[in-house]
């Protein structure tokens, strides 16, 4: 009888090979999963029930990566695409073919799987609450980044085609952006054409216009526009552009000129925030409010607690908690964001919040020296999550509660497992849908200390680079 392992070997496809496959489920990160004799193919652009022609991009021993190049037969639950550009589905909305309830069910399932398969946590023991769905399924993003590309009538301005760094698809109406942001993008493209400006050619490394970032204050109606170019001088722009000049080689010359408004004002959780053009701000204003309300409920503040807000950005979580806390200390690696945080505290008359520029890895011990031990630690790291070493720095604080905001369940799961092993109990885990039509999943976890915390020593070979 044939050994199943050899069957897997036989099924291994070659790079660029095209195969007709059926998608049976969704994987972490949002790609469709197809199987041939036990060999798994992750197909970008494939949704459950679809039969697609998949082009293999990376064949490996146990699985391959691929992209759907043709939809042979749509799955029974497919809904028509809302957002298309030049007849192609929008690369920024890869799950738009799934009805919204199916998107929510898939996200709930992916969180559950991440906890059990990656975190090794017993499924029954993880209190995963039903995902909070978004109020607005389209036009919810307050920030979009577009790329310029060469077109017949001058530069086009839109998104990279899926998996194509060298091909830009022109965008007339992005259904994830607001109407004002769409109008601003089109206005900049018309200006570029009128002035005869060229798009930066990524293969030839020649040309002028590279990217455009449009941010909208959803509550204030303000717009902030950042243009990334390869030239020092531009004709008079029609709008308040911030020009950032990049070198045409690999290096970046950095911002050399800023025109118009440098900071955008937005309102969130009853506070006013000023946001510098390079600082992180939650991209879905309405759902960020729901996220922060969840953080507040999990933090359970009574007016006396010392709260550490690690990875604080412009201070928005810490400031939204300040009225219910004794004191708030924010830590963030980007100096400009900390300046924004301090200005935002002042702007809102908040006097019990302090902010420090530091990396989470090296900044926590000095902060405990300066401020004392926290009662509550809030964490909101980028997608990579926390290294084991940073988790140890957090554990050393011995906080009663840890509220962990995560935009990636696959890195959240092992971080939670490490905290549970050290002596925390995972009390609540709340997924929140901040990004409809995409596979991105946000979660808020509440961990509570239930006894002494055991922190393992750092490994000698863990390295010293800031994570
Ligand atoms: C997901 S954002 C969260 C920002 C903020 N909590 C909010 O809700 O707007 C992550 C933040 O972590 C910062 N960051 C990245 N690496 C860091 C590090 N090693 N130490 C401290 N902050 C870091 C980023 O600059 C960014 O502002």
CA–CA dist 206, 177 (Å, integer): 29
Query: Is 450 in contact with 424 (CB distance < 8 Å)?
Result: yes
State the pLDDT at residue 261: 67
Q: Which of 169, 162, 167 is nearest to 44 (CA)?
A: 162
- Tell me the C-alpha to C-alpha distance, in Å, between residue 405 and each of 135, 274, 294, 345, 449: 20, 22, 10, 21, 17
Q: Which of 264, 208, 199 is nearest to 233 (CA)?
A: 208
Is the CB of 26 within 6 Å of ligand 1? no
Q: Tokens standing for 412? A: 């959240």
Ligand 1 midpoint to CA 334 (Å): 8
State the pLDDT at residue 467: 45
What is the Cβ-side half-sphere exposure of residue 161, based on CA atoms within 13 angstroms? 15
User: Alpha helices, DSSP H only, in 23-162?
Assistant: 100-113
State the pLDDT at residue 239: 75
Q: What is the DSSP letter of 279?
A: S
Read out DSSP for 355-422? EEE--HHHHHHHHHHHH---SEEEE---TT---HHHHHHHHHT--SEEEEEES-HHHHHHHHHHHHHH
Q: Choose the residue to mutate in 275, 313, 440 for probing ligand 1, maximizing ligand atoms within 8 Å of C-beta.
A: 313
Ligand 1 midpoint to CA 418 (Å): 21
Query: Is 83 in contact with 138 (CB distance < 8 Å)?
Result: yes
First to last CA, the chain: 50
Is the CB of 434 within 6 Å of ligand 1? no
Q: Which of 299, 295, 354, 293 is nearest to 328 (CA)?
A: 354
User: Alpha helices, DSSP H only, in 53-207?
Assistant: 100-113, 179-194
Query: Is 176 in contact with 437 (CB distance < 8 Å)?
Result: yes
State the pLDDT at residue 6: 44
285 conformational bin, left if phi > 0, alpha if psi -120 to 50, beta if neither:
alpha
Query: Is 56 in contact with 66 (CB distance < 8 Å)?
Result: yes
CA–CA dist 30, 98 (Å, integer): 12
State the pLDDT at residue 89: 85
Q: Choose the residue to mutate in 264, 274, 280, 393 for probing ligand 1, maximizing ligand atoms within 8 Å of C-beta.
A: 280
Nearest CA to ligand 1 atom 25: 334
Stretches where the chain sits below pLDDT 50 are: 1-8, 248-256, 465-467
Nearest CA to ligand 1 atom 1: 382
Is the CB of 311 within 6 Å of ligand 1? yes
Q: What is the pTM of this model?
A: 0.92
Q: Tokens standing for 444? A: 């808020």
State the pLDDT at residue 453: 95
Is the CB of 266 within 6 Å of ligand 1? no
State the pLDDT at residue 173: 94
- Closest ligand 1 atom to residue 407 Cα is 1
State the pLDDT at residue 130: 97
State the pLDDT at residue 126: 82
Ligand 1 midpoint to CA 403 (Å): 15
Extended beta strands in 230-318, E state: 241-245, 263-268, 271-276, 306-310
Query: Is 371 in contact with 318 (CB distance < 8 Å)?
Result: no
171 conformational bin, left if phi > 0, alpha if psi -120 to 50, beta if neither:
beta
Strand order in the sheet with 223-229: 168-170, 156-160, 143-149, 209-216, 223-229, 241-245
Residue 373 CA from chain centroid, whole number: 30
Q: What are 58-92's pLDDT values in tens digits?
A: 999 999 999 999 999 999 889 999 999 888 888 88
Q: Tokens standing for 407? A: 């935009």
Ligand 1 midpoint to CA 81 (Å): 34
Query: Is 214 in contact with 228 (CB distance < 8 Å)?
Result: no
Q: Which residues are catalytic?
A: 407
């Amino acid at each position: 009888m044939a050994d199943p392992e050899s069957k897997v070997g036989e099924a291994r496809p070659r790079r660029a090979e095209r195969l007709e496959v059926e998608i049976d489920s969704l994987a972490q990160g949002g790609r469709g999963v197809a199987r041939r004799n036990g060999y798994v193919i992750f197909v970008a652009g494939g949704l459950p029930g679809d039969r697609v022609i998949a082009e293999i991009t990376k064949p490996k021993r146990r699985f391959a990566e691929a992209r759907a190049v043709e939809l042979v037969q749509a799955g029974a639950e497919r809904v028509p695409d809302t957002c298309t550009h030049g007849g192609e589905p929008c690369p920024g909305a890869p799950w738009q073919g799934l009805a919204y309830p199916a998107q929510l069910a898939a996200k709930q399932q992916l969180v559950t799987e991440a906890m059990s398969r990656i975190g090794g946590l017993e499924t029954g023991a993880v209190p995963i609450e039903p995902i909070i769905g978004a109020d607005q399924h389209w036009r919810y993003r307050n920030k979009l980044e577009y790329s310029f590309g060469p077109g017949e009538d001058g530069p086009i301005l839109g998104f990279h085609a899926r998996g194509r760094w060298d091909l830009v698809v022109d965008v007339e109406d992005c259904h994830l952006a607001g109407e004002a942001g769409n109008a601003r993008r089109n206005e900049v493209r018309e200006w570029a054409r009128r002035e005869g400006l060229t798009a930066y050619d990524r293969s030839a490394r020649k040309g002028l216009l590279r990217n455009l970032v449009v941010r909208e204050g959803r509550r204030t109606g303000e717009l902030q526009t950042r243009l990334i170019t390869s030239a020092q001088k531009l004709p008079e722009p029609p709008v308040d552009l911030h020009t950032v000049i990049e070198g045409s080689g690999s290096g970046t010359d950095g911002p050399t000129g800023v025109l118009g408004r440098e900071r955008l004002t937005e309102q969130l959780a009853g506070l006013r925030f000023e946001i510098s053009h390079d600082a992180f701000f939650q991209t879905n204003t309405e759902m960020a409010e729901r996220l922060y309300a969840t953080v507040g409920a999990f933090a359970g503040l009574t007016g006396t607690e010392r709260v550490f807000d690690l990875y604080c950005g412009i201070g928005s979580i810490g400031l939204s908690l300040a009225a219910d806390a004794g004191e708030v200390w924010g830590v963030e690696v980007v100096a400009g964001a900390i300046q924004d945080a301090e200005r935002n505290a002042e702007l809102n008359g908040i006097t019990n919040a302090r902010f420090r520029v530091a990396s989470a890895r090296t900044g926590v011990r000095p902060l405990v020296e300066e401020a004392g031990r926290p009662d509550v630690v809030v964490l909101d790291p980028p997608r990579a999550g926390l290294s084991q070493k940073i988790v140890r720095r957090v554990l050393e604080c011995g906080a009663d509660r840890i509220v962990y905001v995560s935009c990636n369940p696959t890195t959240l799961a092992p971080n939670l497992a490490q905290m549970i092993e050290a002596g925390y109990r995972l009390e609540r885990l709340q997924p929140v849908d901040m990004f409809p039509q995409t596979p991105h999943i946000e979660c808020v976890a509440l961990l509570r200390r239930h006894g002494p915390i055991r922190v393992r020593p750092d490994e000698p070979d863990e390295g010293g680079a800031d994570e």
